[in-house]
Structure formats: C-alpha cells, structure tokens
Amino acid sequence: MATLPDLPTFNLSPSTLLDIATDLVNQVRQDANDLVNHVSPQNATFENTLRPLADIDNELKGKVQYLALFQAVSPSSEMRNASSVAVNMVDKAYLGIFQTPTLFALVNAVYKNYVDTKSEDQKLLNMIHSMFMENGLELEGDKRGRFLRISNRLIELRVAFMENLSSDPGYVWKDHYELKGLATESLQALPMHSSTSQRGIKLKKPDITMVLTRCHIAETRKEVFLRSQNIFPDNLEIFNEAVILRDESARLLGFSSFAAQKSRHKMIKSPHDVDQLLNELYNHLQPLAQKELGTLQRLKKRDGEDGDHSSCSLYLWDFDYYQDRLLREKYDTNHELIAEYFPTENTIRGMLKAFETIFSLSIAPIEVTKEQIWHSDVRVFSVRDEQSAFLGFLYLDIYPREGKYNHAANFNIYPSYSSVGKQKQPVATALVCNVSQPSSEKPALLQHRELITIFHELGHSKRN
C-alpha cells in the first residue's frame, strides 16, 4: 500500500498564518497579471485563458479554507482573530479577480466564440463568465463604484459574523429546585458557581437540549431557550445589514431581488417556484401538525390541572419537553436509556464501517503528532478507495469546548482538484460537532438526535 501524503500542520503562530495569507494574495494577483499581460481578447482561448483562471481559482480555494478553519476550531483567541483577518484579505483578493475588466475581456471573448466540444469545459466557462457578470463587470460609473463597495462590505460582514460564532455564549445559572427533572448525574456534571450553590447551564447544544427536553420547570426552559436564541447579539445587526446590501447589489445587477439572482442557479429557478413548493408542503402538512400540536397541548393542559402550569398554550420552549414526555408516556421511549446502546466511540466506528460498505472505502485511524491536530480531542483517519488509492484525510472534532464553533458542520480544509501536469490534490475535511461529553463515571453516549447529526455531517465529508 502506498505511503500517505504528509498531513497538514496546525501548530502555527498568528503571524505565520497572516504570512501565508499575504503570500497567497500576492501569488494570485501576480498570476492574474501574468495572464492579462500574455493574452489578448484577440487570441484568447479556453486553453490559454480558462485553464489558467481555473488554476488560480484552485490555488486560492485550496488554501483559504485551511486558513479559515482556525477561525472555527482553534483554542487560541489570537489564532481565531488572525484567521478572520487572513480570510478577509484572501476573500477580497479573490473578489478582485472577478472585478478586473481586463480579465473579463479575455473571458468574454472566449465565451462569445467558444464552440463546445466537452460539456465539462462549457460548464466551467459558463460558471466563470457568470462570476464576472455577477460581480458587476457590466456596470458603469456610480453604479459600479457602489457595487464594489457593497461587495467588499459583505466580505467584512461575513468574516465578522463567523468570528462572533466562536465567542463565549455564557451560562444560565439556576438553583437545584429550578432544574427539577434533570437526572442526578446530569445535574452533578453541570459546573457549580464559585460563590453560590447554583449550577451553570452552558449555552451550547448539549446543555440546551438537555434542559429543554427534561427540565420540569417551564420558567427555566423559557429562560434557557430565549438566552440560546440571543447568544450572539452582535450578529443581528450584521445580518440585517447583509440582507439589505445583498438586495441592493442584486437590484444593481438588474434582478428583482437577491433571491431571484441566486435561485436561477438552483433546481428551483425562481422565488415564485420556491413559494409554490412551500405552500404545497404547508397545505399537506398543516393538518398533521395541528393534530400533533393538539396532542402536546393536552399533555400540557393535564399539567395545568395538576397545578404545575397556569396555561395550556404551547410555547417554543415547550415543544421538546412535551414531545419527550409523549414518547415516554405513550410509547415507553426513554432516550437516556437508548443512548446507552450508542457509546460515542463505538458508534462512530460503526458509522465509518457503514460508509466503508456503502461506498467501497477503507477508513483507518492515523497516529498523529500534536502538531498535526488543532486540539487533543481531534482524531484523524485516512480514506482509500477499493483499489487502495488514497482519497483524503478525515478529521473528527466532536466535543464542545471554549472558542469552538457552536453548531455542527463539515469544514472542507483542502478541496480535491486536478491541474494539468500536476498530481491530483487529495481532500482533507473536518467533521465539527458539539455532542455530549464523557464524564468521570461513564463514557460519552450519543443521543438519537446527535447520532443523526453525525451521520448527516459524515455525508458531507464523503461528498467532498
């Protein structure tokens, strides 16, 4: 079996990360300038224009996602901040490529004269030409200047939005009686306040879900739910500004809305078609939803008759709790007991085995040094096809910690691509989740919803 390629290293300093970004930006700009200086619209072809542009695109995308990963997973706040700065630099350089009139003149010349011989080539040409068009190359004067300012501002907003997601969401502190319903071991696993006997509910997925599902006290569920929906308040202003700017930029390009601009590249080609689909789903599902809501409301009304609640109105912080109650009382389903059949480490091995069988893969753990991972929790696997050809690296980072991305996602560290005369770039991808952690008394156990999440994110990793 062939030896593995070298693993990426993650023991960088913030200054090194910024140096990598600076070198990448300079290289991309130099390559773009070389292309403009050596090709004219009169002699532009697919081979001398589109392939070099595709190589530039691959080179940039092959490194920027590595730089961006630190923003989501690094334990160091300095590294997360450096990653934000680096991504901002590189994204603006990338945007600049597709807002360069001389480059667009070359691509447009090929686009107008190209005779399709390979559908894949035509698809690449259409995609790159569209990227120039959607970056305002046909706009003039004040409209073009305004569009450029909006484009750069949207990059800044996206980077700031992601940076906020790694900030500390904080705790909700509650007395023991306010956490009635939680299992004793779950209660004892919550941190105790340094000056009171209150327990802290970390505003991350495992603790939030535990309280919303199991806590009998409605006011506790309400506070945890509302706080969990407002953990990154600075992002509200960012989101509002981004929505307004996206709409303005789409209208500058001649579209009726941002949704109209983007949907034309999707399977459903217009906002009208999206609305029609959603309305059809609503009409079919609404009677079923009303029936299920009625069942949950009757459960809450029964609590009211017992004096625990003053209203049978069902609120957003009630759904998980009464759904769990329904499963326990009507179907004798206990998710804590079910989780005992899914210890995290064994279950993940079983999941990977399933992917091996379905896709004819070989997935094996790799011994790594501390320089080759960003945290001691991270595990790395090699992935090979049925001929033992190496396909890429899979990283698993599944437990919550300070400064880490607060949801579940698959981060493509290095995309796979081929360049003329070069060896194919293998993929490196990271599954990042926040599932229930092990305790001193028992191993980590996966709740059913967490099992579904990991399977879902593993699906993204295999697609990469």
CA 387 to the chain's CA centroid: 31
For residue 464, what are the contacts with CB-CB under 8 A and spacing of at least 6? 392, 410, 412, 415, 416, 427, 429
Q: What is the pLDDT along the chain (464 residues), one digit of tens a residue?
A: 668 888 999 999 999 999 999 999 999 999 999 999 999 999 999 999 999 999 898 889 889 999 999 999 999 999 999 999 999 999 999 999 999 999 999 999 999 988 776 688 888 899 999 999 999 988 999 999 999 999 999 999 999 998 898 888 899 999 999 999 998 888 988 999 988 989 999 998 889 999 999 999 999 999 999 999 999 999 999 999 999 999 999 999 999 999 999 998 888 899 999 999 999 999 999 999 999 999 999 999 888 754 454 467 899 999 999 999 999 999 999 888 999 999 999 999 999 999 999 999 999 999 999 999 999 999 999 999 999 889 999 999 999 988 898 889 999 999 887 766 667 778 999 999 998 888 777 889 998 989 999 999 998 887 76
Do the beta carbons of residue 445 and residue 340 sit within 8 Å?
yes
Do the beta carbons of residue 431 and residue 458 sit within 8 Å?
yes
Do the beta carbons of residue 434 and residue 29 sit within 8 Å?
no
For residue 300, give the H/E element and its range: helix 271-305
Q: What are phi and psi of 215, to 5 degrees?
A: -75, 130
Residue 427: strand, helix, or coil: strand
Residue in the structure block whose two tokens are 């597709």: 98
Q: Tokens in use for 79?
A: 């590294």
Residue 350: strand, helix, or coil: helix
Instruction: Show the 3-state SS of 51-65.
Output: HHHHHHHHHHHHHHH
- Distance (Å, whole) CA 164 – CA 144: 31
Q: What are phi and psi of 77, to 5 degrees?
A: -65, -35
Q: From its phi and psi, is residue 73 left (phi > 0), alpha (psi between -120 and 50) or beta?
A: alpha
Domains contained in the chain, CATH given: 14-138 (1.20.1050.40), 168-231 (no CATH), 270-332 (no CATH), 339-463 (3.40.390.10)
